[in-house]
Amino acid sequence: MSNDALHGHPEVVTTHDAHHDEHHVHHHKETFITKYVFSQDHKMIAKQFLITGMVWAVLGGLMSVLFRLQLGYPDQAFPWLEDILGRWAKGGKISAENYYALVTMHGTVLVFFVLTGGLSGTFANFLIPLQIGARDMASPMMNMLSYWFFFGGSIVMVSSLFVQTGPFSGGWTAYPPLSALGDASPGSKVGMDLWITAMALFVVSSLLGGLNYVSTVLNMRTKGMSMTRMPLTMWALFFTAVLGILSFPVLLSGFILLLFDRHGGTSFYLSDIYIATTQQALPNEGGSAILFQHLFWFLGHPEVYIILLPAMGLSSEIISVNARKPIFGYMAMVGSMFAITILAFLVWAHHMFVTGLNPFLGSVFVLLTLLIAVPSAIKVFNWLTTIWKANIRFTPGMLFALGFVSLFISGGLTGIFLGNSTLDIHLHDTYFVIAHFHIVMGVSAFFGMFAGVYHWFPKMYGRFLNNTLAYIHFWVTLAGAYMIFWPMHYEGLAGMPRRYFDYSNWESFKQFAELNKFISTVAIIVFAVQLLFLFNFFYSIFKGRKVTTMNPWGATTLEWTTPIRPGHGNWVGEIPEVHRWAYDYSKDGRDFIPQTEPIGPNESHH
């Protein structure tokens, strides 16, 4: 090869190839430990992330059910709560302190441990090597470590639920001084230390994973798989990894400074503080609580796209496969994801419009924030034009992908309200914000994740999920999500603030008592339906309908050229070569043409 001599590293190319070959040749003995626990197979690691994420989702969801009980039925006691929660719910009523702990942990768990670790961890690990044509990740060892750091972080975070003073309760954003001073609240004591430790482990996990995803996508594509022949899932997961690599370290810096404020006697975030509980004026001077908010949201906003981009990628792919049409505007899709990645770093201060930010600076951030509407709208129109006049197969995966588009539109539109700094004066810290971000990044990302699970379950376990249960799951979740969050827009517009324990004392918010009851009831039903999904998942692993063909969905991409139950190394024999992009559906009278098929002499241009 001519490039061997180019940089004086002939070994570069050879080691790379040798690395590939040794994977499908070796038949080393696998024990239970190396196969299921400390596995270095990307497919098993993906399943570990998925199932850990599911455990977290149940915990996080259950927390929301518990605090919705308080919000929906503030005057009622539920004696069974004391049975399961003990001193958290003395007399069957969750105390205010524990209500805040539940809200905080619900946010932390779902944002980081489910929708970041669970979503990226699962699908980046599972799909990247399969869809670009690689035997495994660039570094299977680091990949394994990425999961175990995630697991370690999970354990530490869970352990904070069981300490005497309770888990952190100052909100998932962990703003100081609540997070910096142990005396500020019970949850700010050891619970907060465990919270920071868990998050630091999570950042390490995310870094190890992200480095792997990026270098695998860049370096290990099979022959013919140019960047623009990759399925959109790959682009999405690639940009997600880049976002994580560049934004999580800033959060880590913020946490290190926070740790010093907590234990080192520093005042990075602290100035002029009087603590009422201990009747003490603190000597700290010169710090700035706003500084933490800048550091936090420099991660916090890209984090939204770390959650959303994988869902976009998964949905794009699933919509195209099930519409039997090429994705509309492939390059526009890639370009808009790139634009979102860049803009993600430039809009963080829109979370801080009312913190005393200079209004002129605010207007710059308004402009940059509203700019995100452009690539977002391009993506939405491309999804819609992809299904335009298509012969749609309404598989459960497809339904969830379409549900994702619906939710992304509904939630995205309210983002335009909130991105405006003048409207934000009225809307900030109200239920309008809750409704907005739950629809646009919470539920919609969940829908992308469900779509992915339903679509790739046959590849993961060689069986299908049960369709009837899937349809029940979809319709109840979609209707439920709108019934929960739609009314919150009204509450928010009426000025109902978030993070209150009990609204029944306020004349202005009493009117929503019945609405809150309604929301809580629907939330419980939706939660129950997720348990149905879990049942379907675990039941189908063992008893689901077996997959009998290699390519059950008739998809073009490489993962469907592997055996039904691929081993470590994915392909038996050579890795296939790629000759075309991933979206040749309904072309030249054929239903689909796999990426591995060479371009025919009479083939039309796409």
Partner 1 sequence: MAQAVPANQKWWGGGKSPFNVEYGKLMMWYFLMSDAFTFGAFLISYGTVRFSSNGWPDPNEVFKSFPGMGHANMPLVFVSVMTFILIMSSVTMVLAVGAGHMNDRKSVLKWLAWTIVGGAAFLGCQAWEWAHLHAEGAWWGRNPFHNFDGTEASTNFTNFFFTITGFHGFHVLSGVVINIIMFIMTYRGVFDRRGHYLMIEKAGLYWHFVDLVWVFVFTCFYLF
The residue ranges that bind partner 1 (CB under 8 A) are 1-3, 5-9, 11-13, 15-16, 132-133, 138-139, 207, 210-212, 214-216, 218-227, 229, 245-250, 252-254, 256-257, 260, 264-268, 285-288, 291, 294-295, 298, 577-578
Sign of CA dihedral 528, 534, 537, 539: negative
Question: Do 127 and 234 touch, CB atoms closer than 8 A?
Answer: yes
DSSP conformation class of 528: H
Query: With respect to partner 1, which residue has the nearer C-beta, 46 or 214?
Result: 214
Residue 284 Cβ vs partner 1, minimum distance, rounded to whole Å: 8
Residue 73 Cβ vs partner 1, minimum distance, rounded to whole Å: 44
Residue 234 Cβ vs partner 1, minimum distance, rounded to whole Å: 12
Residue 49 Cβ vs partner 1, minimum distance, rounded to whole Å: 20
Query: With respect to partner 1, which residue has the nearer C-beta, 112 or 457?
Result: 112
Query: With respect to partner 1, which residue has the nearer C-beta, 216 or 530?
Result: 216
The tokens describing 377, both together, are 């709208």
- Measured CA to CA, the distance from residue 300 to residue 306 in angstroms comes to 10
Query: With respect to partner 1, which residue has the nearer C-beta, 248 or 485?
Result: 248
524: buried, middle or exposed (CB in 10 Å: 19+, 13-18, 0-12)? middle
Query: With respect to partner 1, which residue has the nearer C-beta, 198 or 208?
Result: 208
Query: With respect to partner 1, which residue has the nearer C-beta, 83 or 285?
Result: 285
Residue 19 Cβ vs partner 1, minimum distance, rounded to whole Å: 9
Question: Do 174 and 168 touch, CB atoms closer than 8 A?
Answer: yes
- Measured CA to CA, the distance from residue 33 to residue 39 in angstroms comes to 7
Q: 520, 509, 483: which is closest to 64 by C-alpha? A: 520
The tokens describing 207, both together, are 């870094």
Query: Maximum CA pair distance of the chain?
Result: 84
- Measured CA to CA, the distance from residue 67 to residue 59 in angstroms comes to 13
Q: Give the chain's radius of gyration (CA, Å).
A: 25
483: buried, middle or exposed (CB in 10 Å: 19+, 13-18, 0-12)? middle
Locus of tokens 């469907």 = 560
Query: With respect to partner 1, which residue has the nearer C-beta, 15 or 391?
Result: 15
- Phi and psi for 546 in degrees, rounded to 5? -75, 145
Helices (H) and strands (E) in the chain, counts: 20, 4
CB atoms within 10 A of CB 111: 23
Query: With respect to partner 1, which residue has the nearer C-beta, 287 or 412?
Result: 287
Cis ω for the linkage preceding 177 (within 30 of 0) = yes
Query: With respect to partner 1, which residue has the nearer C-beta, 158 or 201?
Result: 201
Spell 298-307 as b/e; 16+ CB within 10 A means b: bbbbbbbbbb
Query: With respect to partner 1, which residue has the nearer C-beta, 201 or 295?
Result: 295
Residue 76 Cβ vs partner 1, minimum distance, rounded to whole Å: 46
Query: With respect to partner 1, which residue has the nearer C-beta, 85 or 291?
Result: 291
Query: With respect to partner 1, which residue has the nearer C-beta, 104 or 146?
Result: 146
Find the distance separating the first CA and the last CA of the chain, reported in whole Å.
32
> Cα–chain-centroid distance for residue 500?
26
Residue 462 Cβ vs partner 1, minimum distance, rounded to whole Å: 28
Residue 210 Cβ vs partner 1, minimum distance, rounded to whole Å: 8
- Measured CA to CA, the distance from residue 277 to residue 10 in angstroms comes to 68
310: buried, middle or exposed (CB in 10 Å: 19+, 13-18, 0-12)? buried
The Cα-based distances of 540 to 26, 57, 233, 464 in angstroms read: 31, 19, 25, 7
Query: With respect to partner 1, which residue has the nearer C-beta, 267 or 540?
Result: 267
Question: Do 294 and 287 touch, CB atoms closer than 8 A?
Answer: no
Amino acid at 546: K
Residue 567 Cβ vs partner 1, minimum distance, rounded to whole Å: 22
Residue 484 Cβ vs partner 1, minimum distance, rounded to whole Å: 36
Residue 220 Cβ vs partner 1, minimum distance, rounded to whole Å: 7
Residue 280 Cβ vs partner 1, minimum distance, rounded to whole Å: 16
- Phi and psi for 395 in degrees, rounded to 5? -70, 160
Q: 514, 570, 467: which is closest to 127 by C-alpha? A: 570
Residue 175 Cβ vs partner 1, minimum distance, rounded to whole Å: 15
